């Protein structure tokens, strides 16, 4: 039996080095962000609505990453693998509860092949990650410039949040990162789920339409 190929960590390492390199180039003067402001400046609203800008920038980043991943990832195939794995695990659990040793042995042998399919799917996702980061990191650096310069000059660094009556400064460092990153994360997580679901739904419908057209053509 062939050994399962574990997902390569090289794309993740490349991504981390890329982030560090761009941050070093950007520096405290926000060099890259300042240049990108000529392109993305239409999102800043003059710094008057920082939360709205974070939402729009987050939506652009998520759409870019989702679309790029969709070109390299077989979403329909992933869904099939997940469904098969879920049914397999249920069957294996039932066999163990019934102490059916023969069935457990057979299913355990099949498990290696199914896990290999999942690993292959994970590898395809990891390989495209550096390309998605090439699109995302510059926008992230622009947001950094937007907070440090545009919002600071507009005097709107303090925003109201549910867990603090006095509000919080977007430039304040909480734990080990600026608070704007935490707020952006809280905004982008649900937004990302919605956008990803919309993209997956579109891909599934497109795939079903292709299957229907194929069956119709074969029937003619």
pTM of the complete model:
0.67
Specify the pLDDT at position 140. Answer: 84
Res. 6: pLDDT tops 80:
no
Res. 31: pLDDT tops 80:
yes
Q: How confident is the model at residue 1 (pLDDT cuts 50, 70, 90)?
A: very low
Chain segment 77-108, per-residue pLDDT in tens: 666 777 777 887 888 888 888 888 887 788 77
Domain ranges, ordered by start, for the chain? 10-76+128-208
Range from 46-55, 66-75, 118-127 that averages highest in pLDDT: 46-55
Q: How far apart are CA 41 and CA 47, in angstroms?
A: 10
Specify the pLDDT at position 146. Answer: 92
Residues 6+ apart with CB under 8 A from 12: 126, 129
Q: How far apart are CA 121 and CA 107, in angstroms?
A: 21
Q: Across the strands, what pairs with 177?
A: 174
Percentage of the chain modeled with pLDDT above 90: 3
Specify the pLDDT at position 166. Answer: 72
DSSP letters spanning the chain: -PPPPPPPSHHHHHHHHHHHHHHHHHTTTTHHHHHHHHHHGGGSGGGT-HHHHHHHHHHHHHHHHHHHHHHHS-HHHHHHHHHHHHHHHHHHHHHHHTT-HHHHHHHHHHHHHHHHHHHHHHHHHHHHHHHHHHHHHHHHHHHHHIIIIIIHHHT--EEEETTEEEEEETT-EETTEEHHHHHHHHHHHHHHHHHHHHHHHHHHHHHHHHHHHHHHHHH-
Res. 215: pLDDT tops 60:
yes
């Amino acid at each position: 039996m062939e050994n399962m190929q574990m997902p390569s960590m090289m794309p993740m390492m490349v991504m981390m080095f890329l982030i560090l390199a761009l941050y070093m180039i950007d520096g405290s003067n926000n060099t890259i962000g300042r240049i990108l402001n000529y392109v993305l400046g239409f999102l800043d609203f003059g710094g008057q609505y920082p939360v709205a800008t974070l939402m729009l920038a987050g939506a652009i980043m998520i759409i870019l990453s989702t679309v790029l991943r969709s070109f390299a990832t077989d979403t329909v195939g992933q869904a099939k693998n997940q469904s098969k794995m879920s049914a397999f695990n249920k069957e294996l659990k039932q066999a163990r509860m019934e102490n059916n040793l023969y069935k457990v042995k057979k299913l355990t042998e099949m498990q290696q092949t199914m896990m290999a399919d999942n690993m292959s799917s994970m590898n395809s996702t990891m390989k495209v990650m550096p390309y998605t980061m090439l699109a995302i990191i510059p926008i992230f650096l622009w947001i950094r410039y937007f907070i440090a310069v545009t919002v600071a000059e507009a005097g709107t660094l303090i925003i109201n949040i549910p867990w603090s009556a006095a509000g919080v400064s977007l430039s304040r460092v909480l734990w080990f990162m600026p608070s704007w990153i935490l707020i952006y994360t809280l905004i982008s997580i649900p937004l990302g789920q919605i956008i990803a679901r919309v993209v997956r739904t579109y891909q599934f419908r497109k795939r079903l339409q292709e299957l229907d057209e194929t069956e119709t053509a074969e029937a003619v």
